Amino acid sequence: MRPSRPHPPAVTRPATASRRRQSLMIASCLAILATTLGVTALEAQSGAERTPLQAADIFELETIADPQISPNGDRVVYVRRRADIMTDRRLSNLWIVDADGSGHRPLTSGDFSDGSPRWSPDGTRLAFISNRGGTTQIHVRWMDTGETSEITNVTEPPSSIAWSPDGRQIAFGKLVPGTKPSIAGMPTPPPGAEWAAPAQVVERLVYRYDQLGDLPHGFQHVFVVPSEGGSARQITSGNRHWGGIGIGGPQFSWSPDGEHLLMSLDPNPDEKEVVYADTEVFTVSVADGTARQLTDRRGPDDSPIASPDGRTIAYFGMDDRYQGFQRTHLYLMDRDGTGSRALTEGFDRGVYNATWASDGAGLYALFDDEGVTRLGFFGLDGEHRVLADSLGSTASAYGSGDYSVSLGGAYAVTYSTPTVISDVAIGAEGSGLRTLTGINEDLLVKREIGEVEEIWYESSHDGRPIQGWIIKPPGFEPGRRYPLILEIHGGPFANYGPRFALEKQLMAAQGYVVLYTNPRGSTSYGEEFANLIHHEYPGDDLHDLVSGVDAVIERGYADPDELYVVGGSGGGVLTAWIVGHTDRFRSAVSWYPVINWYSFALTADMAQHVPRYWFPGLPWDNVDHYESRSLLSVVENVTTPTRIITGEEDYRTPMSESEQYFKALKLVGTETSLVRVPGEPHGIRRRPSHHIAKMLATLEWFKRHSPTTS
């Protein structure tokens, strides 16, 4: 029996349809006609023939991110992302929609990357970050006239913008460059000479990072700039990373009086080694940069935000126990740093992305529960309630979601279900979510999407209940058995859920039943379930996964003689682990896996994390531990034809891992293939055409080993 959970709020959709591109005139006319008749475009098309998704639809699909509701709750600005077929790049613009679903229109346009929209406190202006001027800068738009001004002129991209309470300043994060180490005494090239690029001197443990490449030398600091433009002024100082060092930039917030900025600080003054899991909360004077430490413990304390009256500071943190997964709590403390207490002590889910209610009665925050990202409200008494379900925005089954809250308590969220790719929805306590957009209706009106069915089953290992989802191919016929693809999530501390999953839908579109599950180690089921793989991974996950395959076969959906398996990152690990223990699958594809934990700990961009949290110590002190969990320990058992697909700029699970597996399989005589994707980091999504190649290379490998083509 699966655990109980709250019923999701009702969701309604306005009778409107988007018209995304002028080239889709037929779909647009149909949408207009459908609206006139009081039905959606999808309903109007229900009687017409629709075809399954195609890989090229990656260029048609759009997603939504960062919906920002205006202070008075009457409008929402959001980031609309697309893939451009002419430049093979991913671009984004800002769009706006009224709270009743009307007035849906672009605020910015063109082949640029516009993002991070933030309303001024009075709702008259909108700040955002864009590269439309040739370099990435902060822009401000006056909402009454549409006039836009570029208000910064910095040499490094700004990030994490935040308005001051009086609207006169904008704070942002930016790298302050440092000096690169170099080889002393190098001669200077003569005028006109063309010498090779200089040698790179590396002295930092983490010197390159996935998605970012080689890390620049320097430190992240926080600045303020007048909101009407002018010179930016640096607030923080020293050889420290202020506000954290995540990919999204430093995180900080203003005190209600506008006199201080709250942020975390990496306590290690040496950039040669970064300690990710140990930060403290500081308050920094905007006037003179004076900093005062408010927390002090072993573990991360970050993302502080002050209550509306300024008397209480909320922040996220935990006592670091060096476990693979550790639940993050929402804490409260007095503004002087005293009286710290955990607001979510008895809540067995990790919470993140908090926002104070305007009346100070509690905080909004996100959490994942049984694969669903939910928006909750946490009162100061420790009680919580669910306000909205089904948050998501990335066209992926992974847990995700963005939201914002107006002064009156209305909230805007990114919304995704198995049949809704990515839209903006709005709600308020006591009312259900109501979607405001339909940005992919022009695509879905001509495509048939595979039906998604939730499944719970018991693991053959210990009888634990495991949750998963089955995607049936378009035109599914009850009683017929289909080839099955088991698709495995990475992380490993992550979760899949009932969201629109583009890659899995593309597999289903080719006639496969697709199974994706949350085996032990997955988040959203509590800390104990996640830590079943602590110092054990990949371990017993294979039993959870194969039990899911058996459950689908028992339902009569899948042909037991035509099974395939694929997964990325941690899912790539488990793919290689499964085929090292069973020959049930006709072929396998491992996307960007870890194969040798010893070499991974010494080459990945998370080298400082792996020995400390995933293993009991350094590789040379725990050789047997690293080798017994290595995929090379079972490679001689692999008879399943296995393809490996990895990006050449993947610094999370480096290409050297895939090369080891490819050559090991060759040496033991197993059919194999290595696909190297140039310029791609982890995930292989930077260029849309490469994303298509990843999917087609996967499906081609499966078809090659189908009994109908073998």
pLDDT of 474 reads 97
Peptide bond into 308 cis (omega under 30): no
Question: What residues are paired with 645 via a beta bridge?
Answer: 591, 675
Arithmetic mean of pLDDT, 453-460: 97
Average pLDDT score, the chain: 90
pLDDT of 166 reads 97
Q: Nearest-5° angle of CA 281, CA 286, CA 292?
A: 35
Asked if 257 contacts 218 with a C-beta cutoff of 8 angstroms, the reply is: no
Q: Nearest-5° angle of CA 73, CA 79, CA 80?
A: 120
pLDDT, tens digit, 9 for 90 and up, residues 224-256 = 999 999 999 999 998 888 987 666 677 899 999
pLDDT, tens digit, 9 for 90 and up, residues 513-572 = 999 999 999 999 999 999 999 999 999 999 999 999 999 999 999 999 999 999 999 999
What is the phi/psi pair of residue 620, to 5°? -70, -15
Neighbour count for residue 101 (Cβ, 10 Å): 18
Closest CA relative to residue 352, chosen from 293, 399, 296? 399
Residue 2 corresponds to which tokens in the numbers above?
A: 């699966």
What is the phi/psi pair of residue 193, to 5°? -75, 150
Asked if 353 contacts 403 with a C-beta cutoff of 8 angstroms, the reply is: yes
What does the alpha-carbon distance between residue 541 and residue 581 come to, in Å, rounded to a whole number? 12
pLDDT of 248 reads 65
- Tokens 């006056």: give the residue: 142
- Tokens 């800002």: give the residue: 94
Arithmetic mean of pLDDT, 116-131: 98
Closest CA relative to residue 108, chosen from 75, 137, 135, 141? 141
pLDDT of 710 reads 59
What does the alpha-carbon distance between residue 114 and residue 243 come to, in Å, rounded to a whole number? 23
List, as one string, the DSSP characters of 72-116. TSSEEEEEEEEEETTTTEEEEEEEEEETTS---EESS-SSSBEEE
Asked if 45 contacts 650 with a C-beta cutoff of 8 angstroms, the reply is: no
Where do the DSSP E strands lie in 164-297?
Answer: 169-177, 208-209, 213-214, 218-226, 233-234, 252-254, 260-265, 280-285, 291-293
Give kind and range of the element (H or E) at residue 602. helix 597-603
- Total length of the chain: 710
Asked if 136 contacts 145 with a C-beta cutoff of 8 angstroms, the reply is: no
The yes-or-no verdict on residue 400 having pLDDT over 80 is: yes
pLDDT band at 46 (very low <50, low <70, confident <90, very high): very low
pLDDT of 245 reads 61
Closest CA relative to residue 207, chosen from 273, 159, 278, 269? 273
Asked if 460 contacts 547 with a C-beta cutoff of 8 angstroms, the reply is: yes
pLDDT band at 40 (very low <50, low <70, confident <90, very high): very low
Give kind and range of the element (H or E) at residue 452. strand 452-458
Choice between 5 and 166, residue whose per-residue pLDDT is larger? 166
- The distance of Cα 519 from the centroid of its chain, to the nearest Å, equals 19
What does the alpha-carbon distance between residue 551 and residue 112 come to, in Å, rounded to a whole number? 47
Asked if 513 contacts 458 with a C-beta cutoff of 8 angstroms, the reply is: no
- In angstroms, the Cα distances linking 41 to 12, 19, 32, 61 are 15, 11, 8, 16
What does the alpha-carbon distance between residue 152 and residue 232 come to, in Å, rounded to a whole number? 7
Asked if 483 contacts 510 with a C-beta cutoff of 8 angstroms, the reply is: no
Q: Between β-strands 11-12 and 213-214, what pairing exists: parallel, antiparallel or unpaired?
A: unpaired
pLDDT of 2 reads 35
Arithmetic mean of pLDDT, 115-132: 98
Torsion of CA 55, 60, 63, 68, to 10 degrees: 170
The yes-or-no verdict on residue 472 having pLDDT over 60 is: yes
What does the alpha-carbon distance between residue 63 and residue 443 come to, in Å, rounded to a whole number? 12
Choice between 18 and 340, residue whose per-residue pLDDT is larger? 340
pLDDT, tens digit, 9 for 90 and up, residues 50-105 = 999 999 999 999 999 999 999 999 999 999 999 999 999 999 999 999 999 999 99
- Tokens 């006037």: give the residue: 287
> What 8-state DSSP symbol labels residue 575?
H
- Max Cα separation, the chain? 78
What the chain holds in terms of domains, given with CATH numbers, is 67-78+95-183+222-444 (2.120.10.30), 450-595+630-704 (3.40.50.1820)
Q: What is the 3-state secondary structure (H, E, C) of 518-549?
A: ECCCCCCCCHHHHHHHCCCCCCCHHHHHHHHH
pLDDT, tens digit, 9 for 90 and up, residues 593-646 = 999 999 999 999 988 889 999 999 999 999 999 999 999 999 999 999 999 999
Could you tell me the strand order of the sheet in which 433-435 lies?
11-12, 433-435, 420-427, 411-417, 403-405
Asked if 638 contacts 668 with a C-beta cutoff of 8 angstroms, the reply is: yes
What does the alpha-carbon distance between residue 181 and residue 693 come to, in Å, rounded to a whole number? 39
Closest CA relative to residue 685, chosen from 604, 581, 569, 600? 569
The yes-or-no verdict on residue 48 having pLDDT over 70 is: no
pLDDT, tens digit, 9 for 90 and up, residues 264-323 = 987 665 544 555 578 899 999 999 999 999 999 888 999 999 999 999 999 999 998 999
pLDDT of 28 reads 34
Choice between 12 and 20, residue whose per-residue pLDDT is larger? 12
Which range among 48-52, 362-366, 649-653 shows the weakest confidence by mean pLDDT?
48-52
Residue 293 corresponds to which tokens in the numbers above?
A: 């430490």
Neighbour count for residue 496 (Cβ, 10 Å): 26
pLDDT band at 432 (very low <50, low <70, confident <90, very high): confident
- Angle formed by the axes of helices 541-554 and 570-579, to 10°? 80
- The distance of Cα 15 from the centroid of its chain, to the nearest Å, equals 30
- Tokens 């200089």: give the residue: 198
What does the alpha-carbon distance between residue 67 and residue 473 come to, in Å, rounded to a whole number? 32
Q: Coil, strand, or helix at residue 22?
A: coil
Residue type, 568: G
> What 8-state DSSP symbol labels residue 201?
P
The yes-or-no verdict on residue 374 having pLDDT over 70 is: yes
The yes-or-no verdict on residue 22 having pLDDT over 50 is: no
Which residues, 6+ apart, have CB-to-CB distance to 22 below 8 Å? none
Question: What residues are paired with 454 via a beta bridge?
Answer: 469
pLDDT of 63 reads 96
pLDDT of 361 reads 96
Asked if 213 contacts 231 with a C-beta cutoff of 8 angstroms, the reply is: no
pLDDT of 709 reads 80
Asked if 41 contacts 20 with a C-beta cutoff of 8 angstroms, the reply is: no
pLDDT of 250 reads 77
Cα torsion angle, 16, 18, 22, 26, sign: negative
> What 8-state DSSP symbol labels residue 287?
T
Residue 148 corresponds to which tokens in the numbers above?
A: 């836009």
What does the alpha-carbon distance between residue 422 and residue 414 come to, in Å, rounded to a whole number? 7
Closest CA relative to residue 367, chosen from 405, 334, 329? 329
Which range among 242-246, 490-494, 625-629, 681-685 shows the weakest confidence by mean pLDDT?
242-246
- The distance of Cα 647 from the centroid of its chain, to the nearest Å, equals 18
Instruction: Say how many Å lie between the first and final Cα of the chain, rounded.
Output: 41
Give kind and range of the element (H or E) at residue 559. strand 558-568
pLDDT of 266 reads 74
